[in-house]
Amino acid sequence: MKILRRLSMGLFLSLCAGQVLALEAISTPWFNNIAIEGYDPVAYFSENAAVKGNKSNKLEWNGASWHFASAQNKALFQADPEKYAPQYGGYCAWAVSQNSVAGIKPELFTIIDGKLYLNYNEAVKTKWLVDTARYIADGDKNWPVLLAK
């Protein structure tokens, strides 16, 4: 029985390792495909706030499920998703500038030159704000390479 359990655990871990190595274009949790933890990407622009979306106003785009606070926000996103989607697939912008990826806290965001950037935590956002122009340039250079891995 112990051997079977260990073999099962080994198989499970090897399958998980394959998942970890494949970077998805849009950051979503392991157990669902909801982008930005269900926050409304349009609200960052229209309300300058992180607003939780509603699954009754959802839309599938780029392999992820996007939730919106209103049908109007859903329609705006659907008309121009690239305008509202977070940069670097919703991964932490500072991490991408460092040639890595990390999750985000949806409440920690900045909009720079009409683009949405998200960060991992307060300390990272503080670093990000020190030199956003350099970090964006580095992130823009690193992002395609990270996706190709």
Q: How confident is the model at residue 15 (pLDDT cuts 50, 70, 90)?
A: very low
What pLDDT does 17 receive? 37
Q: How many CB atoms lie within 10 A of CB 98?
A: 16
Tell me phi and psi for residue 28, to 5 degrees: -140, 160
What pLDDT does 10 receive? 41
Crossing angle for the helix pair 132-148 and 122-130, to the nearest 10 degrees: 110
Q: Please choose, from the candidates 87, 92, 101, the residue with its C-alpha nearest in 3D space to the C-alpha of residue 146.
A: 101
Q: What is the pTM of this model?
A: 0.85
pLDDT tens digits for range 64-73:
999 999 999 9
- Residue 122, C-beta contacts closer than 8 angstroms, at least 6 positions apart: 108
Give the type of residue at 121.
N
